[in-house]
Structure 1
Amino acid sequence: MSPDELVYLGILAASIPIGFLFRYPSPPVKQGAALLLGLSITIATCHVHALHSLVTVLGTWIIIKSSWRSAPALSLAWTFLYLLFFRLVTWFGLPPPTPFANAIQLLLTLKMVSLANEVQSFHLEKKQEVSSFSKSPVVGGLSQEPSLYDMIAYSYCYVGIMTGPFFRFQTYVDWLRQPSSLDLPGWVPCMLRLRLVPVYGALFLTANMYFPLAYVRTEEFLEHHFVFRLFYMTVVFFVFRMRFYAAWCGAEAGCISAGLGCYPEGALSKPGGGPTVNYSPDPESPVVYDFKTIQNIDPYNTDFCVKVRHGMRYWNMTVQWWLHHYIYPNSPFKAYALKAGWTMFISAYWHGLHAGYYLSFLTIPLCIAAESAMEASVRAKLGPRGQSAFDWVHWFLKMRAYDYMCMGFVLLKASDTVHYWTSIYFIIHIIALACILFGRLMKGGKRERKKSEMEEKIEGEKKEVKQEDVREKTE
């Protein structure tokens, strides 16, 4: 385990007991204390690179104050262009940012774009209320435009400052104003979220010890049998999952201990977005709470869901919500596959400039197209048992597809990624393309059969008409 990972682990471990202390103060004290602690972490880990995050916040604040109508588009352009500068600072003779500064900058980008959208929604709802003389039915909207201090406090709130999860400004405000926060659930859901973290951590350390990623780059690796080379990507993805399962479950526990993202179950909260319905609990019955708003990972469904498209829903769930609400709807394309490709391209850019990100993320739309083709041409024609068998095969291929794409994500360089994919003969790309081709052929065959059946039907109708004519003439 690297020194940076130990620092991350220490911050995560400390955030859990500290979180319970944040249930006591009043909103102003809680806001100030969370800001002070977050700034301390930022300065201690990023040093001078903390200025990058401050410039991002100030730029977004200027955009919002200048034009709230255009703020969503302008904030997205501003934060993503600054990300580019942030990653290329060495070209300008500046020192490279630390990994901690990179982590903070990534989460801050999500927060600033989301905040700009929330402010725009606030103004639009306010205008709608004035014109219609009725309260807006929108769920989870702001009650006022945030000040510069509010923006800075939200940006540097210590909760999940480097590890996530992402949460909206409204979620942050609800946390500050929680009534009776001491009565909200804490220890039980926190311990439930932490119960498997030691297992994930042990599996990560053990598997990483015996199957190091660096071995893939050696010439010796290519001397092994094809089956071994293929198996290696499965173990690498296993190590990758265990690492993030442990980190994200620990980050969620830090949110739970502080009470962040705690809403009644009746609010039907979504990861990242928060409540989706206006919920008023019955005062005579006990209220059951959940922390779905800050849930960032669902390990079981990540591993055992059937489809590639569903696998994304359970991985980095709060970021997936952000992409689904702020990137996917604004795609310049209309076709689903192209919109998905655009979203994956933006996600790859957000992660970094390494070619491996793009090779991996842009393989996802191809896999989605392949599974859609096979579902339409094969699964739809099978009975219950056949569909069950199809789903098991689909699940197996889904996991191998994610194994395959993970290699680009961790190898990073285009040469290393292509080198490994070449060693296993680009097997997932070939399978995906074969499935798409097979699906189209089956669809074409079905079209030809329909055409033939239609022609036979027309010929039959013509014969019946001729026979009727003959009978009429005979009579």
Structure 2
Amino acid sequence: MVLHNILKRDHAYLIVVFLSIIAGDFTRKLHDPRLKRNLSAAIGFLIAVLFCGWEMSHLMISTCVGTLIIKTLQTGFMPRIVFGFSFLYRLFFCLLTYGSAWRNENTLANGIQLIAMIKMISVAYEIAEHRKSRSVHSNGIPNGNSVLNDPSNHKSLHLLEEPSTSDIVCYMYCFLGLSTGPFFRYRTYHDMLHMPKHVSDSIPVMGMILSRLPIFIVLVMLSTALGDYFPSEYMKSDNFYEDSLIYRFCYVIPIGFVGMSRYGVVWFLSEFSFTAAGLGVYPEAKKSQPGRGPSIFSENDQIWSMKENPKPVKYDCEAITNIYIVEGFTSETYGKTFRYWNCTVQWWLAHYIYASRILSGKHALLKWIAVGVVSAVWHGFRAGYYFAFVGMVYITFAEKLLLSEVTCGLTGFSKNVADVLHYFLFKVIGIGSFMTMFVLSSYEDILRYLTSVYFGIYSIATLSILLAAASSVLSKRKANFVAKVKPE
């Protein structure tokens, strides 16, 4: 029996992550890497079959073709070819959504394909870097053709050995985060499989989970209460547009809280399953970062010592922390809020898009536009993704100009008023509008709403850019005038 025929998709996500917590605690206690690898992949395969039906074939096709490219091609272009194939297959999958006979929107196939694409690209680049490093060591001659324009703050642990075909397939099918994320690199997965018994037994799993449980409970209550009082479907009704302009303009505020809370609930549960399995758990001394893993390491770092450390070791799960909800809610600006959102995927975007050789030397704004476009296309072809992600770049750019050219020169009461207005319009309305674009999704619903509020946050961002430009011109004229009248 295929469960997607009797369960709603949101319920399916919750069931999968709850089961993953139980399965993760079991697999952590297995100390045979091969057994742990095979069982984790078998559970993932079972989830794909039960919750996707025949659509699990998409994961099979993308995994098999991607792995075949990796193992067949030994050239430096291999990861780019994998990138191209994975991205094109993702586009093909999204196109199927528009034919109701080809896609069942109630399955978890879309979430699985989202994660599968970035995992396949990541493992291709990791293997390419390993081959490059091995070639350098064997020849003794540095190779200047780096796979990535890799700044020091993006460098991550390299592979100790090249994964076999079965290793890659099992990594792709690993049940942890299969349809929800967080994203994790192959090296992070490898470190979980080879975690020694004395380490897995000493990880305070329950303590790690309980430390974040109060925030999780608040998110559940917030998303449930606000979701009942401010249903997103109401924005698509005719009655909504009979309400006042101020009500329509501010309705995005609860939508933003509900959206962030619901994503937070799913990601928290996924993080709990990762922690239970020991995936992404490293010593605190390694100063792990989301997606990247340890930031302090030596070449060919084994991470785990086979001998038990006589001193107690503190561990954290920062490598797979996908959301810092408190920091996100309390950050002062629109741009900073997103630094704490979907953090593991942000690392992937920074590493493989922003820092790519193709964009090397390009203006930062162009790089951010590329990141926004790739994020939107990665999610699919719905208009809401483009209004959200490309719009996010535009709004962040406007906010930075406003803060650097206008509000920075204010003092006293005017400064306080400007700060309050900025926080409300950019932070509160801006984040709410981002989530609203996701909720409305279709071009018709989005355009209907935006025209009813005079394009809301996008008009505010445009006016901010014009205000910043005018302020910059006036400042330069003032500086020139002062320079002319200044006595010799």
Name the TM-score, length of structure 2 as normaliser: 0.88
Deviates further, 407-416 or 366-375: 366-375
Residue of 6, 30, 34 corresponding to 2:40:
34
Aligned to 1:220: 239
Aligned to 2:109: 101
1:147-180 CA-partner distances (Å, limit 9, x unpaired): 1100110001111111111100000000000122
Instruction: In structure 2, list runs of 5 or more residues that go unmatched.
Output: 1-5, 143-151
Matches within 5 A, 1:39-58: 39-58=45-64
Residue of 11, 22, 32 corresponding to 1:17:
22
Matches within 5 A, 1:35-184: 35-65=41-71, 66-89=73-96, 95-98=102-105, 99-132=107-140, 139-179=156-196, 180=198, 181-184=200-203
Asked if structure 2 preserves the Cα contact closer than 8 Å seen for 1:236 and 1:403, the reply is yes
1:219-252 CA-partner distances (Å, limit 9, x unpaired): 2111111111122111111111121111111110
Distance in 1 (alpha carbons) for counterparts of 2:228 and 2:56: 34
Distance in 1 (alpha carbons) for counterparts of 2:343 and 2:430: 19
SS of 1:244's partner is: helix
Asked if structure 2 preserves the Cα contact closer than 8 Å seen for 1:193 and 1:252, the reply is no
Identity of aligned residues (%): 31
SS of 2:249's partner is: helix
Asked if structure 1 preserves the Cα contact closer than 8 Å seen for 2:156 and 2:293, the reply is no
Tell me if 1:364 matches 2:409. Answer: no
Distance in 1 (alpha carbons) for counterparts of 2:416 and 2:188: 40
Tell me if 1:301 matches 2:327. Answer: yes
Residue of 256, 259, 267 corresponding to 2:286:
267
SS of 2:288's partner is: coil
Asked if structure 2 preserves the Cα contact closer than 8 Å seen for 1:374 and 1:435, the reply is yes
Distance in 2 (alpha carbons) for counterparts of 1:388 and 1:286: 48
Shift of 1:63: 1.9
Distance in 2 (alpha carbons) for counterparts of 1:381 and 1:93: 55
Distance in 1 (alpha carbons) for counterparts of 2:343 and 2:236: 31
Asked if structure 2 preserves the Cα contact closer than 8 Å seen for 1:308 and 1:398, the reply is yes
Aligned to 2:263: 244
Task: Letter of the 1:237 partner, please give it.
Answer: G
Query: Which protein has greater RCO, CA pairs closer than 8 Å, 6+ apart?
Result: 2
Asked if structure 2 preserves the Cα contact closer than 8 Å seen for 1:111 and 1:168, the reply is yes
Tell me if 1:327 matches 2:364. Answer: no
Shift of 1:192: 2.1
- When residues 370 and 48 of structure 1 are mapped into structure 2, their CA distance, relative to the original with a 3 A threshold, is same
Tell me if 1:310 matches 2:336. Answer: yes
Root-mean-square deviation (CA, aligned residues, Å) is 2.5
Deviates further, 379-388 or 123-132: 379-388
Distance in 1 (alpha carbons) for counterparts of 2:220 and 2:212: 14
Distance in 2 (alpha carbons) for counterparts of 1:91 and 1:10: 27
Shift of 1:260: 0.8
Deviates further, 292-301 or 425-434: 425-434
Matches within 5 A, 1:190-201: 190-201=209-220
- When residues 287 and 387 of structure 1 are mapped into structure 2, their CA distance, relative to the original with a 3 A threshold, is farther
Distance in 1 (alpha carbons) for counterparts of 2:100 and 2:253: 40
Distance in 1 (alpha carbons) for counterparts of 2:202 and 2:413: 49
Shift of 1:139: 4.4
Asked if structure 2 preserves the Cα contact closer than 8 Å seen for 1:306 and 1:392, the reply is no
Aligned to 1:470: none
SS of 2:279's partner is: coil
SS of 2:23's partner is: helix
Distance in 2 (alpha carbons) for counterparts of 1:68 and 1:144: 18
Aligned to 1:404: 433
Shift of 1:193: 2.7
Shift of 1:118: 0.5
Shift of 1:119: 0.9
Task: Letter of the 2:330 partner, please give it.
Answer: F
Shift of 1:83: 1.1
Instruction: In structure 1, list runs of 5 or more residues that go unmatched.
Output: 462-475
Asked if structure 1 preserves the Cα contact closer than 8 Å seen for 2:406 and 2:467, the reply is no
- When residues 433 and 204 of structure 1 are mapped into structure 2, their CA distance, relative to the original with a 3 A threshold, is same
- When residues 385 and 139 of structure 1 are mapped into structure 2, their CA distance, relative to the original with a 3 A threshold, is farther
1:268-322 CA-partner distances (Å, limit 9, x unpaired): 1110110111178995642211100010111111111122221111111111111
Task: Letter of the 1:95 partner, please give it.
Answer: W
1:454-473 CA-partner distances (Å, limit 9, x unpaired): 3234xx44xxxxxxxxxxxx
Residue of 422, 430, 435 corresponding to 2:464:
435
Aligned to 2:423: 395
SS of 2:221's partner is: helix
- Residue-pair matches, total: 457
1:243-270 CA-partner distances (Å, limit 9, x unpaired): 1111111110011111110111111111
